[in-house]
Amino acid sequence: MIRDDAGATTATVPDGDEERSAVRPRRRGPVPRDDAARSVRLVAVAFGVTVVVTRLYLALTGYPQIGGGAYHLAHALWGGLLLLLGGLAALLWSNRRVPTVTAICVGVGSGLFVDEVGKFITARNDYFTPLAAPIIYAVFLGVLGVAVLARRARRDRPRALASAIALRSRFLADGPLRPDDRAALLDDIVALEGHRGRPDLVAYAAALRPVVETAPVEEPRDRARPFVAGLARVEAVLLPRWAHRLVVIIGAVVLGLVSLVGLVVLLALWSSDPDVAIVLDDQVVPRGQRPAVLVVASAGEAVVGVLLLVAAVALVLGRDRAGIRLCRIGLLVALAGVNVALGYLDAELVVIAVVAELALLVLAHRYRARFLRAPTGPAAPSP
């Protein structure tokens, strides 16, 4: 008796000189898609960009209303429409670009919808309620968390391999296969053929292998490659190693000093000096009161500030790996935790902080990828 990853039990039943197998499926859990992490990351990016662009646009244009008079077409309605269109596209078509289109529609649509969460959680339909920004930011972090989990999902189980093969094999109907699709298909087929616990799926893989091996393959081409190569050349010219390091150092110092304002706020909260006052949203925090959100945000900002300044010092001293690591840790702490509390205090400020922190995180990531990547393969012999 054999049990596979789906919880199905395969029992061998004697039948004369032969044996026949009976498969009794018990439960079929969800099967992860091989492109799930990419699609969910695209949803997160579209969501974040939509919220930032929407808030900036509304602030710059004085919060206009579409409709006028008795009606107001809130942008949450357009978000709902995009969510509907994305779902319909996923249900109607199976072309290669459908997951990308669906992810963009879901990301933009949910961004437009969740951006107005303040109107749905308050009796007075308050778009600017302080709780709105933390909720929006928490949703964004939740989607990113789903993307991380999707990336770590196991795809070496028979059902996952068979599902990936079935999804990719539909590209055979579109004409010549792309080289990467053919290679991925053959890899999954070979892996599935090794799972002897599911003879039905092994037979499916064996039957499909000659079809894939003899299918026409298109000439390799990458329309984005010239553009990416051009960006890499511009980056190499404008940001040699010393300049790239200098930009990261300046960014870490600036954001670090700004974040250290949190330490000043903490000291002021526990200060007994009558001349020290904290003004929050045009209102003075009463002496002796220490709002929990303000304490959390200030303490978090202080930690981030210290990490970024130490990272800058390490980079100045030539300790690039330690400096970049500390810089990334500080920025991730800010992006994944501190900004949630900060958004409750000042929604506009957290948008600016997120943009600046993401920009520095990209610069740090690119520095690590360009100059700190571990060498691969055996070292070339010295002459």
Predicted local confidence at residue 306, as pLDDT? 95
User: Is residue 181 domain-resident?
Assistant: yes
32: tokens are: 């992860």
Asked if 248 and 365 sit in the same domain, the reply is yes
User: Is residue 31 domain-resident?
Assistant: no
Asked if 132 and 207 sit in the same domain, the reply is no
User: Is residue 127 domain-resident?
Assistant: yes
Please give the Cα distance from 361 to 336 (Å, whole number).
Answer: 13
| Helical spans, DSSP H, in the chain | 36-61, 75-92, 98-114, 117-121, 132-152, 158-169, 179-193, 199-214, 225-238, 241-259, 261-269, 292-316, 320-333, 339-345, 347-371
Domain count of the fold of the chain: 3
Please give the Cα distance from 197 to 157 (Å, whole number).
Answer: 11
Please give the Cα distance from 191 to 48 (Å, whole number).
Answer: 37
Predicted local confidence at residue 383, as pLDDT? 39
Asked if 365 and 248 sit in the same domain, the reply is yes
Asked if 113 and 147 sit in the same domain, the reply is yes
364: tokens are: 């740090």
**Structural domain harbouring 182:** 156-220
What is this structure's pTM?
0.76
Beta bridge partners of 11: 22
User: Is residue 284 domain-resident?
Assistant: yes
Asked if 127 and 51 sit in the same domain, the reply is yes
Is 237 exposed, middle or buried, given 0-12, 13-18 or 19+ CB atoms closer than 10 A? exposed
| Sign of the dihedral defined by the CA atoms of residues 260, 262, 265, 266, in that order | negative
User: Is residue 13 domain-resident?
Assistant: no
The DSSP H or E segment spanning 21 is: strand 18-24
Could you say which of 108, 131, 152 is where a domain stops?
152
Asked if 137 and 247 sit in the same domain, the reply is no
Asked if 256 and 353 sit in the same domain, the reply is yes
Could you say which of 152, 175, 207 is where a domain stops?
152
User: Is residue 91 domain-resident?
Assistant: yes
Contacts of 82 (CB under 8 A, 6+ apart): 105, 106, 108, 109, 112
User: Is residue 382 domain-resident?
Assistant: no
Asked if 354 and 272 sit in the same domain, the reply is yes
The span from the first CA to the last CA of the chain, in angstroms, equals 62
Q: Locate tokens 């039948």: which residue?
A: 15
Among 110, 381, 148, 365, smallest CA distance to 247 is for: 365
| Backbone dihedral angles phi then psi of residue 3, each to the nearest 5 degrees | -115, 130
Among 243, 240, 245, smallest CA distance to 311 is for: 245
Could you say which of 173, 190, 220 is where a domain stops?
220
Among 152, 252, 162, smallest CA distance to 203 is for: 162
Asked if 135 and 46 sit in the same domain, the reply is yes
Q: Locate tokens 């000043």: which residue?
A: 264
Asked if 161 and 251 sit in the same domain, the reply is no
Is 80 exposed, middle or buried, given 0-12, 13-18 or 19+ CB atoms closer than 10 A? middle
Asked if 242 and 215 sit in the same domain, the reply is no
Tens-level pLDDT at each residue, the chain (383 residues): 445 555 555 544 444 444 444 455 556 778 888 889 999 999 999 998 999 889 888 888 888 877 766 777 889 999 999 999 999 999 999 888 899 999 999 999 999 999 999 999 998 889 988 888 889 989 999 998 999 899 888 888 888 899 999 988 888 888 888 888 899 999 999 999 988 888 999 999 999 999 999 988 887 766 666 777 788 888 888 899 999 999 999 999 999 999 998 888 888 777 766 666 666 665 666 666 677 778 888 899 999 999 999 999 999 999 999 999 999 999 999 988 888 888 877 777 888 888 899 999 999 999 999 999 765 444 444 33
User: Is residue 22 domain-resident?
Assistant: no
Asked if 142 and 163 sit in the same domain, the reply is no
